[in-house]
Chains A and B, each alone.
Chain A
């Protein structure tokens, strides 16, 4: 049940009216409805993985309760590591097992001609990387005594499986989302309107920009040998916008949907293409994931040595970005993507010259157009690593770009797609103080024009909708 499908629209309408029909005073019944709806939503892909979702939820719920009761350090550590072992174990088994096995054998040059090793023929449960990180953060925060565990199983299950953000985030922390299940939600007309507008904006990004750009990107990336440097650069740049519009579009729909039910989810994107450095970009791109890794990976590494040393910071950045890369998928392209970004961040932060100035500070001072160009070049290179099927394909594309392989013909495959992209960029930059361009539209635009904009967007969405494309981040 994709967000950009009629099935989801129908599902949402039913759940929405049932939810508010129950009445705001019956919070438990509302939570129960949300839980059932979330499980139906998740089960619509593959009901078998519901058991995994439930098991992960229960492990961390029980871990939280035991941690609350126990003050014994050894027991608390045992519980913490049991939870981490479970969550990472599930991830490794379902997502990375085949990758690790094949990489191990390739490392030692063992060929599989005799079928000496076998791959596990299993599909990756949808949203696994997202909800395991969410449950893990809960247990770690309880262990660190940052939050108190919940004793209400229903609310905890809702926190883990809340359908708007279950399959592709934002990765919510318990201290933000869990309390929202614990208190009464009242119907708020303004918030509902904002939710609907944000959903509309997310659909625009996904259907009219990301999917359209995706057609051109797929055409070039599926046959890189058939294109020269110019078209490959063009496709790589378009891919950066495609992945941004795809994922931030998804996030807008998720946040908008949550608003309809009276919930507030975390911001996940903050116009990342306006960053002045790659360091800044990672603070504005998939913010909840970066924050997660900062809190639970980077900070513990850096603080493991006191006083904090520069070398530990470097190790921390490289290891964190390596893991962020690996989080995206079981493929060496993602690993190299992460390491590349890690190296760039390290270089940006390294002291240069005797004045101890850093590239990061220099990027803040130079004209914005230059810093934007720098970020875009770096991001486009990592985009190639992200999009390529394997390392050799990424290498081929980069080689053709940097050796300036001539184009046989410039394809006119882009066409009207660029207009949508342009419209999106203008709208987002012109309204960058707002959460999303359609926010609080009634303050700025009279009703007839407002409705005309809504209708125009709906007509365009229906008119130009291609066969349903899954969201790129669903695979993670």
Chain B
């Protein structure tokens, strides 16, 4: 192989590598709740008593800064129970004072497929929480954040560095206190307009997935019980137009599992606010299934009461 060809290759790929390095650098410097959580884990892990897990609904519903107990919220978008379980197992050795774990069981939690082993957030968990969710050895590329989902981060980079329209106000607990500008705010909280909007909701009953998911969920609960950890199972509030669209079959199966859990485990409490249309008003929502920081404040207060009742 001629040296000229190797030189040619190097010359060609050096700009590619440099370009990538710039994107990675920009990504790492984006404001991010993961970074705040990472710092919190490093600084105060030994004091943390409450760990919140779940999907974006829980991420947006619990502002850990408002809790009296030292707490951390590791919930994030598309994060399913299998990832919650791995995260818990990964961070548990760092949390010697952990007393309570807050889990989410949303309307269709048991009938949505678990995150695959290629879930794009695995590099994020590895980078910021030091938890290997890959179920294999990790390599250098597994720590590259931009590469984990380039379309997502490219948009974030564009919004933050070029458009400057990303007013993220993450507090030191990784909660975005400025997270208001969603669908509802864009519609000026006009309930007639909101009622006309379609939204994402699972309408397909999936009994096979239900069987797999519930099996893992019970393993998860057994694991927590064996470690004498208290558990609070939550459902975050949903806006009123979300509720009637839910499929009764999916709902009934979910509720039957919650009933089973209630009968079987003595260490578990419930905080079920999915159908609370009185306490949570339109201005508490970001969209049909997510709270904004005002709604989060209310829900966190409810969580605080539940935590107080445990002691």
Binding site for B on A (CB under 8 A): 6-7, 10, 17, 20-21, 187, 189, 192, 223, 451, 454-455, 458-459, 462-468
Residue of B nearest to A461 (CB): B150
A458–B203 alpha-carbon span in the complex (Å): 38
The answer to whether B19 has its CB under 8 Å from any CB of chain A is yes
A380–B237 alpha-carbon span in the complex (Å): 44
Give me 8 other A-B pairs in contact (C-beta within 8 A), A6-B147, A462-B20 excluded: A187-B1, A455-B15, A455-B16, A459-B19, A462-B150, A465-B151, A467-B119, A467-B149
Which A residues are in CB contact (< 8 Å) with B147? Answer: 6, 462
A82–B5 alpha-carbon span in the complex (Å): 49
Q: How near does chain B come to A94, taking the closest CB pair, in angstroms?
A: 22
Question: Contact between B12 and A451 (Cβ–Cβ < 8 Å)?
Answer: yes
The answer to whether B244 has its CB under 8 Å from any CB of chain A is no
A10–B2 alpha-carbon span in the complex (Å): 21
Q: How near does chain A come to B128, taking the closest CB pair, in angstroms?
A: 19
Q: Which listed residue, B16, B151, B204, touches A458 by the CB 8 Å rule?
A: B16
Residue of A nearest to B120 (CB): A467
Q: Which listed residue, A10, A20, A189, A464, touches B150 by the CB 8 Å rule?
A: A464
- The answer to whether residues A463 and B5 also contact, given A454-B12, A458-B16 and a CB cut-off of 8 A, is no
Q: Which residues of chain B (114-139) have a CB below 8 Å from chain A?
A: 118-120
Q: Which listed residue, B5, B150, B204, touches A465 by the CB 8 Å rule?
A: B150
Q: Which listed residue, B12, B141, B151, touches A466 by the CB 8 Å rule?
A: B151
A7–B5 alpha-carbon span in the complex (Å): 23
For the residues of A in contact with B, the DSSP-based class is helix
Q: How near does chain B come to A365, taking the closest CB pair, in angstroms?
A: 47
User: Can you offer 27 A-B residue contacts whose CB atoms are under 8 A?
Assistant: A6-B141, A6-B147, A7-B141, A21-B1, A187-B1, A187-B2, A189-B5, A192-B5, A223-B203, A451-B12, A455-B15, A455-B16, A459-B19, A462-B20, A462-B23, A462-B147, A462-B150, A463-B150, A463-B151, A463-B154, A464-B151, A465-B151, A467-B118, A467-B119, A467-B120, A467-B149, A468-B118
Task: Mark contacts of B1-45 with chain A using CB atoms, 8 A cut-off: 1 yes-contact digit, 0 otherwise.
Answer: 110010000001001100110010000000000000000000000
A458–B23 alpha-carbon span in the complex (Å): 14
Q: How near does chain B come to A387, taking the closest CB pair, in angstroms?
A: 18
Q: How near does chain A come to B191, taking the closest CB pair, in angstroms?
A: 21
Residue of A nearest to B144 (CB): A6
Q: Which of A455, A462, A464 has the most CB of B within 10 A?
A: A462
Which B residues are in CB contact (< 8 Å) with A451? Answer: 12
Residue of A nearest to B151 (CB): A464
Which A residues are in CB contact (< 8 Å) with B151? Answer: 463-466
A466–B147 alpha-carbon span in the complex (Å): 10
Which B residues are in CB contact (< 8 Å) with A223? Answer: 203-204
A458–B154 alpha-carbon span in the complex (Å): 15
Which A residues are in CB contact (< 8 Å) with B1? Answer: 17, 20-21, 187
Which A residues are in CB contact (< 8 Å) with B2? Answer: 187, 189
Q: How near does chain A come to B120, taking the closest CB pair, in angstroms?
A: 5
A189–B151 alpha-carbon span in the complex (Å): 34
A468–B122 alpha-carbon span in the complex (Å): 14
A248–B204 alpha-carbon span in the complex (Å): 33
Which B residues are in CB contact (< 8 Å) with A454? Answer: 12
A187–B1 alpha-carbon span in the complex (Å): 6
A463–B149 alpha-carbon span in the complex (Å): 9
A20–B3 alpha-carbon span in the complex (Å): 12
Which A residues are in CB contact (< 8 Å) with B119? Answer: 467
Q: How near does chain B come to A324, taking the closest CB pair, in angstroms?
A: 31
Q: How near does chain A come to B4, taking the closest CB pair, in angstroms?
A: 8
Q: Which 4 A-B pairs have the closest CB atoms?
A: A20-B1, A467-B120, A187-B1, A6-B141
Which B residues are in CB contact (< 8 Å) with A17? Answer: 1
Which B residues are in CB contact (< 8 Å) with A462? Answer: 20, 23, 147, 150
A223–B141 alpha-carbon span in the complex (Å): 36
A6–B16 alpha-carbon span in the complex (Å): 14
Residue of A nearest to B11 (CB): A451
Residue of B nearest to A226 (CB): B203
Which A residues are in CB contact (< 8 Å) with B149? Answer: 466-467
Residue of B nearest to A465 (CB): B150
